[in-house]
């Protein structure tokens, strides 16, 4: 099986580094997916959610405020100003992560419609994490 090496880095350090099946990113021109063998690009990212399809077919989400991504055939390097890994082993940890993600996103945009769409997306997909 072909995989991608995904790294998500903030000024505080790496928050995600692993091989994955695919990743969906909130590009400044719209959301886009990356699979192994993707053509190389460098682009900007807007506030939103990075969705990761892990090798065990579970999904993982990382909320970001803004940043850049470099994609090549075998790797995806995401450099962001701020990020929150929406992860946890129980509902209370996930609820705390969602709250932290909301705060990060509220600080990054004045667009209330876009913010509510991203938060709704996080809340609806958080169920698949447990």
Burial class, 46, CB count within 10 angstroms (exposed 0-12 / middle 13-18 / buried 19+): buried
Residue with tokens 């970001």: 64
Per-residue pLDDT, 7: 97
Per-residue pLDDT, 130: 54
Residue 73: partners with Cβ closer than 8 Å, 6 or more residues away: 36, 37, 38, 39, 40
What tens-digit pLDDT sequence spans the chain (130 residues)? 799 999 999 999 999 999 999 999 999 999 999 999 999 999 999 998 999 999 998 889 999 999 999 999 999 999 999 999 988 778 888 888 888 888 888 887 776 777 777 777 777 777 666 5
Residue with tokens 């399809």: 53
């Amino acid at each position: 099986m072909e995989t991608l090496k995904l790294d998500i880095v903030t000024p505080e350090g790496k928050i995600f580094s692993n091989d994955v099946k695919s990743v969906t990113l909130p590009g400044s021109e719209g959301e886009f997916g990356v699979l192994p063998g993707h053509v190389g690009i460098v682009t900007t990212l807007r506030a939103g959610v990075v969705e990761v399809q892990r090798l065990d077919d579970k999904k993982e989400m990382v909320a970001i405020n803004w940043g850049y991504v470099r994609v090549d055939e075998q790797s995806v390097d995401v450099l962001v100003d701020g990020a929150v890994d929406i992860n946890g082993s129980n509902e209370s940890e996930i609820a705390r992560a969602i709250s932290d993600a909301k705060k990060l996103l509220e600080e990054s945009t004045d667009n209330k419609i876009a913010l509510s769409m991203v938060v709704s997306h996080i809340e609806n997909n958080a169920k698949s994490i447990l």
